[in-house]
Structure 1
Amino acid sequence: MIHVTATESDAVRAIEAEAVSSRFARGWHCLGLAETFKDGKPHTVHAFGQKLVVFTGADGKTNVLDGYCRHMGGDLSQGTVKGNEIACPFHDWRWGGDGRCKSIPYSRRVPLRARTAAWPTMEQDKLLFVWNDPEGKQPPADVRIPVIEGATRDDWTDWRWTEQVVHTNAREVIDNVVDMAHFFYIHKSFPTYFKNIFENQTATQIMKGVTREDARRAREGSGGGGPRMLGNTSVASYHGPSFMIDELTYHYEGYDLHSVLINCHYPIDENSFSLHSGIIVQHSDALPPEAAEATAAKLSEFILLGFQQDVEIWKNKTRIDNPLLCEEDGPVYQLRRWYEQFYVDAADVKPEMTDRFEFEIDTTRPVESWKKEVEENLARSEGASA
């Protein structure tokens, strides 16, 4: 028999939470659909603790600059795009995408020090990315976002894109990479396989799941119809600190539906971030173009609902640096160690942040428990309707 002393069993577990760092992650961050910023107007984006101005010049290149003019502090996002420059509304100083003042209409010459902060940008898969680095360095050639083949192919739908502001620190959304159990309790899904792989700048979640029967019947009872979804297979990878590509296959009776889900964000400040989602769906014999577009729209609503379920949790939970975990909770601490690499100088990135790490959860116990819970829920439902 094992004897546990009072001090071991009765000690209260204290929640530890350090002050949130004012440093923002190094890496590519997606600002949304590139087309949004190509209307010939300046756009305000609040990111990385400051105001930015985003504009596309006559040459078609989209630029990101610090939002305030270095002359007298005018708000460039309230200015005008003139050729390839953004003109300040205060005194019409013209700023190029490289951050240099190109001309001052009323002056013979431009001061040598007339330069503002310019942020590296990238357009890929119809999306606009901006590079953030607290050290002020350019993006390394080997730090890339993988190309999403379906985003530019005719046999896939266009992006269905949503965005919203979430008032908490961005680490909360990253924790979901390893959190298997919340899919059952929050999203009414039923994970049957769950594995994580972290390596270099990529953190992957591989999950297989089935639709919760009690949730499906409740949805059908409230008017939800259409083909019966049996489950899904998901391979979701964060490439860097904020951009996740999820190769998501939904299994229906009689066919599979292939889609790509984007879950991405950029920090507004230490305690808020802009959360984006995008989805494209592949056309197929079972899903011709018109049906694929309708399905993409429906899935987009479904995904947005899932985000809202997470947001409600984040809004009411507290930040916790020392979570108390059980075996099936996944590698939370290892994930956070991987995530830390984006918040330190490049020279301070340690091997334990980037070395390959794999962890597969034994789903035997969760599956047994969850099957029993679903059966009990269905029995109560049937008893109530009898």
Structure 2
Amino acid sequence: MTTTDDQEFREIESAGAPTRFARGWHCLGLLKDFRDGKPHQIKAFGTELVVFQGENDGQLHILDAYCRHMGGNLAKGQVKGDSIACPFHDWRWGGNGRCTGIPYARRVPPVAKTKSWPVLERNGQLFVWHDPENSKPTDEVTIPELPGYGTDEWTDWNWSSIVIEGSHCREIVDNIVDMAHFFYIHFAFPRYFKNVFEGHVAGQFMNSTPRDDIGIGSSYDNPDSRLESEAHYYGPSYMVDVLRNYVGDRLVETDLINCHYPIDNNSFVLMYGARVKKPAGISDERANAMAQKFTDGVKVGFEQDVAIWLDKAPIDNPLLSEEDGPVYQLRRWYQQFYTDIADVTEDMTKRFEFEIDTTRAVESWQAEVDENIAAGRVHRAAR
């Protein structure tokens, strides 16, 4: 607190963004975008990576992008067999990081090895494991398999990405406990809201309805619809949101992915995608159009968030009301991914549950909505 002549007021505290990158699985995008026979350069974790698919083994591999021989950029080279060839001197590097051949040399130096990054292919997406301690990922912290992926029951992913400059990726994680912003930023009306943290998983359970004082722009957003959402972060950067939207007597089931990876300490790539369970009697074309429309709506929502992140102050000591949710508990949970494994404490991983009493919020927001309608003030929800 700071004291002036007539009052005390709270100062904003901020220690700055973490100087290390989070331990955990990070999604880099859709598998199909990397399976084209070409090397792909990814700027992540303050360095450069190269992703390539072996011609023979068919596997995706991730290495440091710069050749350990003379620093050539492997992402500018060619895939040759199951190796990536440097464009500078044609040194070949296998998926395990070992040099597999030097065309002009009699032998490969025994120490010729570069960094190979652990890879996971799951749910049609590519993941890379990052840990400054170079630990190996375990089954306990893996990414769950989504039911029905790859079957005719569901559409394929409708996928988008955006680069966020000037903000740390921890800003997006705060949203999982932030009930109130759904009303003011996203024009939703939370009726039930609960968080559960345990181990490497942070969950959000929310039931909501559309606001009556907005212009409806999506076929999902029937004024009489209701949405049940169960969202879980699996590790520091990959969230699966299972959505059940009830529109009259129809149920629309959607899986939303919200994920990111850091470029550096002050920028990150935000990706999101949706798939829809095909309702009975709906053509593939219609189901894909539904997924596209839903993703378009999600895009607007993320753009609304981004506008806030880029114009807000980072704050380590937020001043909270009871209805603001367990922000400090979430941040303790999140801290485990920026801490050496030996230093992770019980309060970062033990089970924690918190349900917000929405009674006051619902009464206040309903009064605001009624007043807006009476005054003819209608918000337009761009979709």
**Cα distance, 1:227 vs structure 2:** 7.3
2:209 counterpart of 1:210:
yes
Partner of 1:44: 41
**Cα distance, 1:8 vs structure 2:** 12
Contact 1:94 1:102 in 2 (8 A): yes
Ranges in structure 1 where 5+ consecutive residues have no aligned partner: 1-5
Q: TM-score when scaled to structure 2? A: 0.94
Change (3 A) 1:322 1:358: same
Contact 1:151 1:159 in 2 (8 A): no
SS at 1:244 equivalent: strand
Q: How does 1:73-112 map to 2 (within 5 A)?
A: 73-112=71-110
**Cα distance, 1:289 vs structure 2:** 2.7
SS at 1:134 equivalent: coil
Contact 2:333 2:348 in 1 (8 A): yes
Contact 2:82 2:95 in 1 (8 A): yes
- In 1, distance between residues paired with 2:5 and 2:281? 59
Contact 2:220 2:247 in 1 (8 A): no
SS at 1:176 equivalent: helix
SS at 2:310 equivalent: helix
Ranges in structure 2 where 5+ consecutive residues have no aligned partner: 379-383
**Cα distance, 1:260 vs structure 2:** 0.5
- In 2, distance between residues paired with 1:64 and 1:88? 14
- In 1, distance between residues paired with 2:102 and 2:221? 63
SS at 1:213 equivalent: coil
Partner of 1:228: 222
Contact 1:227 1:253 in 2 (8 A): no
2:187 counterpart of 1:192:
no
2:302 counterpart of 1:304:
no
Change (3 A) 1:113 1:9: farther
Partner of 1:3: none
**Cα distance, 1:23 vs structure 2:** 0.5
Q: Which runs of 4+ in 1 moved over 4 A?
A: 6-9, 224-227
Q: How many residues align?
A: 373
Q: TM-score when scaled to structure 1? A: 0.94
- In 2, distance between residues paired with 1:9 and 1:114? 69
CA-atom RMSD, angstroms? Answer: 1.7
Partner of 1:35: 32
Partner of 1:154: 152
Q: How does 1:332-371 map to 2 (within 5 A)?
A: 332-371=327-366
SS at 1:341 equivalent: helix
Contact 1:119 1:130 in 2 (8 A): yes
2:261 counterpart of 1:266:
yes
Q: How far does the alpha carbon of each residue in 1:286-338 deviate from its partner, in whole angstroms, 9 at most, with x for none?
A: 64433211111100100011110000000101110011111100000000000
- In 1, distance between residues paired with 2:196 and 2:253? 22
2:124 aligned to which of 85, 108, 126: 126
1:140 aligned to which of 135, 138, 141: 138
**Cα distance, 1:285 vs structure 2:** 2.1
Q: How does 1:246-257 map to 2 (within 5 A)?
A: 246-257=241-252
Change (3 A) 1:50 1:242: same
Partner of 2:63: 65
**Cα distance, 1:144 vs structure 2:** 1.1
**Mean CA deviation greater in 126-135 or 277-286:** 277-286
Contact 2:241 2:257 in 1 (8 A): yes
- In 1, distance between residues paired with 2:228 and 2:5? 42
**Cα distance, 1:111 vs structure 2:** 1.0
Identity of aligned residues (%): 54
Q: How far does the alpha carbon of each residue in 1:41-88 deviate from its partner, in whole angstroms, 9 at most, with x for none?
A: 000101111110000011110011001000111011111111100000
Change (3 A) 1:226 1:368: closer
2:313 counterpart of 1:315:
no
Partner of 1:16: 13
- In 2, distance between residues paired with 1:104 and 1:291? 53
Contact 1:151 1:280 in 2 (8 A): no
Change (3 A) 1:13 1:284: same
Q: Which amino acid aligns with 1:236?
A: A
- In 2, distance between residues paired with 1:225 and 1:72? 56
Partner of 1:276: 271
